[in-house]
Amino acid sequence: MIGKKVRASLLTVLVAVAGGALAVACSGGDSGGGTDPTGTGNGNVTVVRASGTSWSPASVTIKAGDKVRWTSDGALPHNVESETGAWGLASLPAATSTFEQTFNTPGTYRFRCNFHSSNFTTGMVGVVTVQ
């Protein structure tokens, strides 16, 4: 008799906790994108898309003054971090997020998603070659 009562109140607590967790999960909501570029640049834009845990394409070649725009497939959170730390670190939490960087100086610029690469040579890494 007492055992039954304890079970019943335990069930009530579990339902309340589950309900609360559900309410929290649902109240997360959209923090609002608005990261779409305003188009201030005058160069061409090359898109690098996060696909799974790799960049596609992982290697791009552009001309000085051009932009690279990183986008996400939305399946996983990603970010863009430059090896030198001179640009990035930008989050790509959702499919609508983008990050753009204009490259004015010829050179080789390695980047990674630091969620999916522990260095700049393996995992979710890429390179921008600026001519």
Q: Which residue is nearest to Cu ion (CB)?
A: 113
DSSP state of 19: H
Residue 125 near Cu ion by CB under 5 A? no
Residue 92 near Cu ion by CB under 5 A? no
Residue 120 near Cu ion by CB under 5 A? no
- The answer to whether 98 and 119 have CB atoms below 8 angstroms apart is no
Residue 78 near Cu ion by CB under 5 A? yes
Q: Determine the number of helices (DSSP H) and then strands (DSSP E) in the chain.
A: 1, 9
One residue of 43, 115, 120, 127 binding Cu ion per CB under 5 A: 115
One residue of 67, 68, 90, 116 binding Cu ion per CB under 5 A: 116
The site that binds Cu ion (CB under 5 A) totals a number of residues, namely 5
Question: Letter for the amino acid at 115?
Answer: F
Q: Which stretch binds Cu ion (CB under 5 A): 13-21, 55-63, 72-80, 93-101?
A: 72-80
SS3 labels along 34-97 = CCCCCCCCCCCEEEEEEECCEEECCEEEECCCEEEEEEECCCCCEEEEECCCCCEEEEECCCCC
Residue 68 near Cu ion by CB under 5 A? no
Residue 80 near Cu ion by CB under 5 A? no
- The answer to whether 79 and 101 have CB atoms below 8 angstroms apart is no
Alpha carbons 78 and 90: distance in angstroms, whole number: 9
C-beta closer to Cu ion: residue 92 or 130: 92
Interaction mask 94-113, Cu ion, x per CB under 5 A: -------------------x
Residues of this chain that interact with Cu ion (CB under 5 A) are 78, 113, 115-116, 124
